[in-house]
Amino acid sequence: MLNKIILPILLMILAYSLWLSHDFTQIAAGVAIFLFGVLSLKHGFQNFTGGALEKILRICTDRIWKSLSFGLVSTTLMQSSSLVSVLAISFLSVGLLDLASGIGIIFGANLGATASAWLIAGFGLKVKIANYAMPMLIFGVLLLFQTSVFPLKATIAKKLREYALF
């Protein structure tokens, strides 16, 4: 009962603070990204136990065009071709990937970086995305902590985070 009253009040205070101060918005967005990263890392390691990573890599990279697509999509999602390349090299050294798949992922990562730059250049000049992304991310992470009380908030929080990070 108390949660139903306090949460909306805190969200309204947060919204007013985000509207009032750009510096507060940047600090709150940084904290939200950090908390979201910690939670995602925890859930990611829980999900990949039992050989799931090997199965996913095998399915996604068994053909060259799949390796290219995997590199392109992962770079577009993570916004870092360097990270995707380093992960591909690490997977190669461990033996999770063969050489052709690793090269395909690296080429796809380079294509993904170029495609992301063109998308940002095309849409970023017309709309100031940062004005909307940081508040959406902050609210998405805050609602993430309330998902046990209200299950619908989990879907709303996920969509807010996805749109903010896109």
Q: Compute the average pLDDT of residues 65-81.
A: 86
The answer to whether the beta carbons of residues 162 and 131 sit under 8 Å apart is no
What are all long-range contacts of 145-151, with beta carbons under 8 Å and residues at least 24 apart? 146/3, 146/7, 149/3
- Spans of all domains in the chain: 51-127, 128-166
Distance CA 31, CA 96 (A): 34
Distance CA 135, CA 22 (A): 11
Which residue would you say has higher pLDDT here, 50 or 87? 87
Write out 17-34 in H/E/C secondary structure.
HHHHCHHHHHHHHHHHHH
**Least confident window among 60-64, 66-70, 84-88:** 84-88
**Residues 6 or more apart whose Cβ sits within 8 Å of residue 79:** 116
Which residue would you say has higher pLDDT here, 153 or 92? 92
The predicted-structure confidence for 112-160, as pLDDT tens digits, reads as follows 888 877 777 776 666 666 677 778 778 877 777 776 666 666 777 777 7
Q: Compute the average pLDDT of residues 79-84.
A: 81
Side chain identity, residue 66:
K
The alpha helices in the chain, defined as continuous H runs, are 2-20, 22-47, 52-60, 64-78, 81-94, 99-124, 130-144, 151-165
Per-residue confidence (pLDDT) for residue 106, from 0 to 100: 93
pTM: 0.49
C-alpha 158, offset from chain centre: 10
Which residue would you say has higher pLDDT here, 109 or 152? 109
The predicted-structure confidence for 15-58, as pLDDT tens digits, reads as follows 898 889 888 888 888 888 877 876 775 665 455 545 667 788 88
Distance CA 54, CA 91 (A): 10
* Closest among 109, 99, 97 to 53, alpha carbons compared: 97
Distance CA 58, CA 115 (A): 25
* Closest among 24, 27, 4, 7 to 16, alpha carbons compared: 24
